[in-house]
Homo-oligomer: A and B are copies of this chain.
């Protein structure tokens, strides 16, 4: 199959597939005599793998590392794979914690303001923000 069909089968754009090859995320594709890239069912699996990783919020660099393991499975252990995911999980948890503390700060601010239709001259939200008190 050529790149257009792979794109429609995988849900990725032709440009994205070429981009992934260029940055070394995807292995270089075989070429037909015409110079066209040639793919098979296995390529769909690989792109499905990449899609999964993207859904999990991984960076392309991290996906590249994990795909290297995937494409040489027999050389890696479950331990390695699980450890990799554990690391990603840790990063997600850190982001969550940051976001949670932002949410809390924002809710605190929100709750101190009366929300009435009087002028905002004494608005406790604005005042706290002026003081850097968030």
A contact set with B: CB distance below 8 Å = 45, 48-49, 51-53, 55-57, 69-70, 73-83, 85-86, 88-89, 92-93, 95-96, 99-100, 102-103, 105-107, 109-110, 113-121, 123, 125-126, 128-134
User: Contact check: which of B88, B120, B134 meets A80 at CB < 8 Å?
Assistant: B120
> Given A55-B134, A70-B129, A110-B89, A81 and B123 touching (CB < 8 A)?
yes
> Given A117-B77, A129-B49, A129-B53, A96 and B100 touching (CB < 8 A)?
yes
User: Contact check: which of B70, B92, B102 meets A57 at CB < 8 Å?
Assistant: B102
This chain: copies in complex = 2
- Residues in chain B near residue A102, CB distance under 8 A: 55-57, 92
User: Contact check: which of B92, B113, B133 meets A99 at CB < 8 Å?
Assistant: B92
> Given A74-B121, A78-B123, A106-B56, A45 and B130 touching (CB < 8 A)?
yes
Taking CB as reference atom, which chain B residue is nearest A48?
Answer: B132
